[in-house]
Amino acid sequence: MARFPTPANRPRFKTLLPVDTVKPSNNMYFFLHNVPTQRQYRHFPDRTLWSGPDGVHAIVYHPTHEYWPAVQKWVTPPSISFLSPELFDLFLTSQNAVYYVGVYAFHSMRDVHPPGSPIPPDVSPVAIHQATGVPAANVNPWDKITECFLDGHIKVECFGLQCVGFDHELYHKLRLRFVQPAGGEVPLKRRADDVDLRKGGYARARPV
| pLDDT tier for residue 181 given thresholds of 50, 70 and 90 | low
| pTM for the model | 0.80
Show the beta-strand stretches assigned E in 10-154: 20-21, 40-43, 48-50, 58-63, 66-68, 73-75, 88-94, 97-108
Which amino acid is located at 14 in the chain?
K
Beta-carbon count within 10 A of 100 CB: 24
The total of other beta-carbon atoms located within 10 Å of residue 189's CB is 7
Give pLDDT tens digits for 137-166: 665 767 889 999 999 899 999 999 999 999
- State the pLDDT confidence band at 79, using cuts at 50, 70 and 90: low
- Percent of residues, the chain, with pLDDT higher than 90: 40
Q: Which string of b and e fits 36-59 if b means at least 16 CB within 10 Å?
A: eeeeeebbbbbbbbbbbeebbbbb
Element (H, E) at 160: strand 156-165
Alpha-helical (H) ranges within the chain are 25-33, 79-82, 125-131, 141-148, 168-179
Query: Do β-strands 40-43 and 88-94 pair in parallel, antiparallel, or remain unpaired?
Result: parallel
Cα separation, 121 vs 206, in Å, equals 12
* Poorest-pLDDT segment among 46-50, 84-88, 89-93, 129-133: 84-88
Residue pair 31/98 in contact (Cβ under 8 Å)? The answer is yes
Following CA atoms 41, 46, 48, 52 in sequence, which dihedral angle do they give, to the nearest 10 degrees? 130
Question: What is the phi-psi region of residue 149: left when phi exceeds 0, alpha when psi lies from -120 to 50, beta otherwise?
Answer: beta
